[in-house]
Amino acid sequence: MPRSLIWLLGLLLVVGGAAGGAWWWWRGRDVRSEIEAALSDALGREVRIADYEVDPRGHVTLVGVDVGNPEGWDGAPLMHAPKLDLEVALGDLLDREIAGVLTAHGVELRIVRKGGVTNVHGLVRPSTDGGTQKIDLHLDVAITGARVTIEDHDRDNTFVLEDVDVRVLVANRSEARSASATVRVAQIDLRGVPVKDVSMVVQAVGSDIAIDDLKATVGSKGTLTGSAKLLLAEDRDWSAQVELVDVDFDADVRRVVAAVYPPLSSTVEQTAATGSIGATLSLGATGVHWSQVKSTLAGTGTLRLQDVVLPKGSLLLSLAGLIGRDTNQPWALGESTIEFGIGAGWVTLVKVTAGGVATSLPISGRVSLDGELDLSADLMPLVPAFGGGAYASVASVATSLPVRITGTVEAPKLAPPSVSDVGKSLLGGVIRRSLGTAPK
């Protein structure tokens, strides 16, 4: 027999013997239970695995994975994954060293607050406990298409995010421990306004969830940046500080803008105003659904209008029409700034400033978050600009021309100055002139 053939047969016997020995070795171990135990120790939560697969490289795919809640919590698990792909060698995993990359799709993540504490708190145990080495965990986790449910049992609220992407380093080494994650959401609907390409850094801070480096797109070119906190242990479920820049009126923001600045109100269901807006907002509320939020929403904000052109039918045009302006022509506002406060279900106008007469119109009052108008305006600043119409002769001596604005954002109603109001204004003008205090 040729020597080369003898060597080949010997090699086959050695390989076959090694494979057989390995088979008997694996057969004698409960690998699934060992993986469950290793992951449970590393995460500090019970981990259940329905099945597992090992590829030719020795990397592991876990099927039907559930990560449980802390002791004493019931309901659905913290996380359910149909499949987790681990670029971690099986031998390392069984040797209690979990270092590598984890990828998954279609994960269901359930974050719960109960008694002021979330089920995320305490996730991932340190690598040492009293000097005893436990599990060495260092995973780069990439999850796509996740469904995230946030439940607040303390206030009976639930919020769901679909199509969420998460990227996070899960590590328990002292020099690399991290509890923050980069989260991306394709789209979130905020009171009818679609906010797209949302990205944020999320971190569990005690019982709160902190959101930093918040970025998103509103409309075709508008940007949103800011920060927020969720599941607050205070009297609010969330708080947020947001900056909006260069958001165009075609971005479905008209209804929200009209509620803050009612002179734009009747543009909601008619031809859209053109131009762009910016805003600085500081808001907080209890609840996550609008029916819950609107009665508790509180905060302040500043709205900035840029190159806004109002179409026919706008409330501001209707006001100007009372003193002679042609309401069939659009009206350019230029730049305006509106400061407002929100509380007890109402938006209250604080201050309106602008370079032109149009938006310098003194308007005060409030707008409910359901769209009800409770406002008053003084037409006097518009009278000199548009000839005054029926009020031209009155304007020379009157002190003001008050107008009541009621109805809703979709259907505002104007109450022109009454005879008694005009009489009072004329009387005030006469008195001021007699006292020498009338404007010249």
Domain boundaries, the chain: 30-190, 235-440
Is 203 or 222 the better-scoring residue by pLDDT?
222
- Tell me the C-alpha distance between 36 and 46, whole Å: 8
What pLDDT is recorded for position 391? 65
pLDDT band at 178 (very low <50, low <70, confident <90, very high): low
Phi first, then psi: what are they for 430, rounded to 5°? -60, -45
Which DSSP helix (H) or strand (E) runs through 291?
Answer: helix 290-293
Query: Would you say 297 and 287 are in contact if contact means Cβ atoms under 8 Å apart?
Result: no
Percentage of the chain exceeding pLDDT 90: 23
Rg (CA), the chain: 33
Across the range 418-438, mean pLDDT stands at: 54
pLDDT band at 90 (very low <50, low <70, confident <90, very high): confident
When the pLDDT of each residue in the chain is averaged and rounded to a whole number, the result is 78
Contacts of 33 (CB under 8 A, 6+ apart): none
Across the range 400-427, mean pLDDT stands at: 73
Is residue 20 predicted with pLDDT exceeding 60? no
Is residue 435 predicted with pLDDT exceeding 50? no
What pLDDT is recorded for position 268? 47
Is 259 or 198 the better-scoring residue by pLDDT?
198
- Tell me the C-alpha distance between 417 and 406, whole Å: 14
Across the range 302-323, mean pLDDT stands at: 79
Is residue 411 predicted with pLDDT exceeding 60? yes
What pLDDT is recorded for position 24? 39
What pLDDT is recorded for position 183? 92
Model pTM greater than 0.85? no
DSSP one-letter code for 269: S
What pLDDT is recorded for position 21? 40
Percentage of the chain exceeding pLDDT 70: 75
**Signed CA dihedral, 223, 226, 227, 231: sign only:** negative
Q: Is 248 exposed, middle or buried (0-12, 13-18, 19+ CB in 10 A)?
A: middle
Is residue 437 predicted with pLDDT exceeding 70? no
Residue 412: closest CA among 259, 250, 194, 253: 259
pLDDT band at 361 (very low <50, low <70, confident <90, very high): low
Q: Is 250 exposed, middle or buried (0-12, 13-18, 19+ CB in 10 A)?
A: middle
What pLDDT is recorded for position 43? 85
- Tell me the C-alpha distance between 66 and 180, whole Å: 21
Across the range 84-105, mean pLDDT stands at: 85
Summarised one tens digit per residue, pLDDT across range 184-217 is 999 888 877 889 999 999 887 766 788 999 999 9
Query: Would you say 272 and 266 are in contact if contact means Cβ atoms under 8 Å apart?
Result: no
